[in-house]
């Protein structure tokens, strides 16, 4: 390996008000290296990368690129130094073609001949094994294709250092594999790649060296050969963590939720759910896997009475609840809890404190016109103790709490209502490892009490470990419902991409 240093960062510090996002960060990235930046949410990964790509200006510290002292004040400065950033949310113009997106915003590109351009794109594509159709419109592309366009775009603009922010979050396992192949080819061609992630298995698969950040500080830089997943986790969290999730055996099998031929259409009259049928039993965790936007949100909201249903049946304990709104459902005495994906936009009121948030669903059961807050205050204090929620006080706006604490407030409120059916969408999204495991434990506790749980997840490893069965959804259709113990990630990935379970797992599955 060539040991020429491409990027050298010394004592970089960045503060936001009283928050120190980065504190004396040091990092070295060599030519022809894939360097992973590993850290929990809030450890300062994104801040660091935003400084490298010229979006934030550091308070102090120095950045050297190829040994040259640089000051990156705008994304343009960064680009001209050969740094290309690929954001988690793609920055592409949907109605333009791949080619148009690649040249957009480039100086003088107006006069570049179309043929010459196509030729250049083709050359780049061939060199790194990227397959894109330059004339395809972005809105016709899959997530994987869009990502490829982003990569070609930054290479076309002369990037030799590629920064990828959580690139696999939206990809199926198969798409992830092909991304990794591209990255390996780029590395051989002498590019440096920085990949930001919190998925350990991917770090172990793709990177050469790993730098671990914790609470805004560099904890260590290690060679992949000299480490393992457990050690990395310990570095990341700061103490030993048990990484296994318990799967509690389910006891009784009474059907609590029966969904039959459910179809809903979205605003554009496209079927968001297409003829969905499944059953959920008490004391069972049914996982739902699928690429983001495959209909998970619509499924949850349809069951919770928040989404208009075109046709089909939703039975809760043999009672059809189609056409009922959340108020009716509460009044019917159905104890169903929906923990939405959008915590602060739907599940909680961001500017209110815990007390007022505890009242959100309960206040309607109070008599008279006045609102009684005493019970809600007691409940808040109880939850703070029980779930170790850290907040300056029960009246402190929940918006200002950390992601994990916000989720505990929401989940705590729902569990305290003693539901028989719990619907939860991405409950651990944005949470650090510790908080995630607390949430898994809470869900298992509910399962043991006989609650039926519909768990919309994104990490396939977790789905396989936590759930009893996994329902795979693709473009609003169910491609299969598999026993968690009898399915692996690759099979789930194929089903997420639209393959039917019978073809994936063979006849008889």
Other beta carbons within 10 angstroms of residue 235's beta carbon come to: 20
Q: How far apart are CA 146 and CA 152, in angstroms?
A: 10
Pair 480, 504: CB distance under 8 Å: yes
How many residues make contact with other proteins (CB under 8 A)? Answer: 42
Check residue 348 for interaction with other proteins (CB under 8 A): yes
Asked if 84 interacts with other proteins (CB under 8 A), we say: no
CA distance 438 to 305: 29
Per CB under 8 A, 358 contacts other proteins? no
Q: Which of 371, 393, 449, 485 binds other proteins (CB under 8 A)?
A: 371
The single residue among 360, 433, 462, 509 that binds other proteins, judged by CB under 8 A, is 360
Judged by CB under 8 A, the stretch of 137-145, 256-264, 265-273, 354-362 that binds other proteins is 354-362
Q: Of residues 316, 338, 426, 455, which one binds other proteins by CB under 8 A?
A: 338
Q: Given the complex with other proteins, which of 74 and 483 has the nearer CB atom?
A: 74
- Beta strand ranges found along 66-145 (DSSP E): 68-70, 83-86
Nearer to other proteins, 110 or 370 (CB): 370
Contact region for other proteins (CB under 8 A) — 79-87, 129-137, 148-156, 364-372? 364-372
74 near other proteins, rule: CB under 8 A: no
Which residues have a Cβ under 8 Å from the Cβ of 485 and sit 6 or more positions away? none
Query: Does 124 sit near other proteins (CB under 8 A)?
Result: no
Cα distances (angstroms) measured from residue 322 to each of 298, 306, 342, 353: 14, 10, 23, 33
- The nearer residue to other proteins, 104 or 371, going by C-beta atoms, is 371
The interface region with other proteins, picked from 83-91, 152-160, 177-185, 339-347 by CB under 8 A, is 339-347
**Among the listed residues 120, 168, 119, the one whose alpha carbon sits nearest the alpha carbon of residue 147:** 168
* Continuous segment of H or E residues that includes residue 472: strand 469-474
Neighbours of 195 (CB within 10 A): 25
Task: Single out the segment in contact with other proteins by CB under 8 A; choices: 28-36, 113-121, 338-346, 501-509.
Answer: 338-346
Q: How far, in Å, are 48, 59, 62, 67, 222 from residue 24 at the CA level? A: 11, 10, 10, 19, 18
Asked if 216 interacts with other proteins (CB under 8 A), we say no
Write the interaction track for other proteins spanning residues 6-25; mark x where CB under 8 A is met and - where it is not. Answer: ----------xxx-------
Nearest to 67 by CA among 31, 36, 14, 34: 31
Give, as ranges, the residues between 373 and 432 that touch other proteins (CB under 8 A). Answer: none
CA angle 242, 244, 247 (to 5 degrees): 140
Euclidean distance between CA atoms 317 and 305, whole angstroms: 16
Nearer to other proteins, 245 or 360 (CB): 360
Contacting other proteins within 43-62 (CB under 8 A): 57-62
Dist. CA 21–CA 242, nearest whole Å: 27
- Binding region for other proteins (CB under 8 A) out of 161-169, 170-178, 251-259, 351-359: 351-359
Please list every residue from 297 through 326 that binds other proteins, using CB under 8 A. Answer: 304, 306, 325-326
Using CB under 8 A, list all residues that contact other proteins. Answer: 16-18, 57-62, 69, 71, 73, 304, 306, 325-330, 338, 340, 342, 344-352, 356, 359-361, 363-364, 366, 369-371
């Amino acid at each position: 390996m060539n040991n020429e240093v491409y990027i050298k960062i010394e004592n970089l510090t960045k503060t936001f008000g009283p928050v120190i996002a980065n504190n004396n960060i040091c990092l070295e990235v060599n030519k022809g290296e894939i360097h992973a930046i590993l850290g929990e949410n809030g450890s300062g990964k994104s801040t660091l990368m935003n400084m490298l790509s010229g979006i934030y200006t550091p308070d102090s510290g120095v950045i050297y690129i190829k040994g040259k002292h640089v000051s990156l004040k705008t994304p343009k400065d960064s680009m001209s130094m050969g740094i290309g950033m690929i954001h988690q949310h793609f920055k592409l113009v949907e109605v333009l073609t791949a080619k148009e997106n690649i040249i957009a915003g480039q100086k003088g590109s107006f006069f570049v001949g179309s043929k010459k351009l196509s030729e250049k794109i083709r050359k780049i594509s061939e060199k790194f094994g990227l397959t894109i159709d330059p004339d395809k419109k972005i809105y016709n592309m899959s997530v994987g294709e869009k990502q490829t366009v982003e990569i070609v775009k930054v290479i076309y603009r002369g990037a030799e250092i590629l920064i990828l922010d959580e690139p696999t979050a939206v990809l199926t396992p198969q798409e992830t594999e092909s991304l990794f192949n591209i990255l390996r080819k780029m590395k051989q061609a002498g590019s440096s790649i920085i990949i930001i992630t919190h998925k350990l298995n991917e770090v172990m698969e793709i990177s050469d060296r790993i730098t671990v950040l914790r609470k805004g500080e560099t904890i260590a830089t290690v060679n992949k050969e000299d480490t393992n997943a457990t050690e990395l986790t310990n570095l990341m969290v700061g103490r030993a963590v048990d990484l296994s999730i318990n799967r509690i055996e389910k006891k009784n099998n009474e059907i609590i939720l029966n969904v039959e031929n459910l179809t809903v259409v979205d605003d554009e009259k496209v079927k968001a759910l297409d003829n969905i049928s499944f059953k959920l039993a008490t004391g069972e965790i049914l996982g739902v896997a699928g690429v983001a936007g495959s209909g998970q949100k619509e499924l949850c909201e349809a069951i919770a009475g928040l989404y208009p249903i075109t046709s089909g049946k939703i039975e809760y304990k043999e009672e059809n609840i189609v056409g009922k709104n959340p108020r009716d459902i509460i009044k019917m005495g159905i104890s169903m809890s929906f923990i939405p994906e959008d915590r602060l936009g739907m599940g909680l009121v961001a500017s209110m404190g815990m007390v007022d948030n505890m009242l959100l669903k309960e206040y309607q059961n109070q008599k008279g016109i006045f609102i009684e807050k005493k019970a809600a205050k007691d409940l808040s204090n109880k939850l703070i103790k029980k779930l170790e929620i850290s907040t300056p006080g029960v009246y402190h706006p929940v918006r200002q709490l950390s992601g994990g604490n916000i989720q505990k407030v929401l989940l705590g409120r729902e569990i305290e209502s003693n539901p028989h059916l719990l619907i939860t969408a991405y409950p651990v999204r944005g949470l650090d490892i510790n908080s995630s495991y607390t949430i898994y434990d809470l869900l298992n506790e509910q399962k043991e009490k006989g609650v039926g749980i519909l768990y919309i997840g994104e990490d396939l490893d977790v789905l396989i470990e936590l759930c009893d069965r996994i329902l795979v959804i693709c473009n609003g259709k169910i491609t299969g419902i598999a026993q968690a113990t009898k399915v692996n990630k690759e099979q789930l990935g194929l089903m997420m991409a639209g393959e039917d379970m019978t073809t994936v797992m063979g006849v008889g599955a």
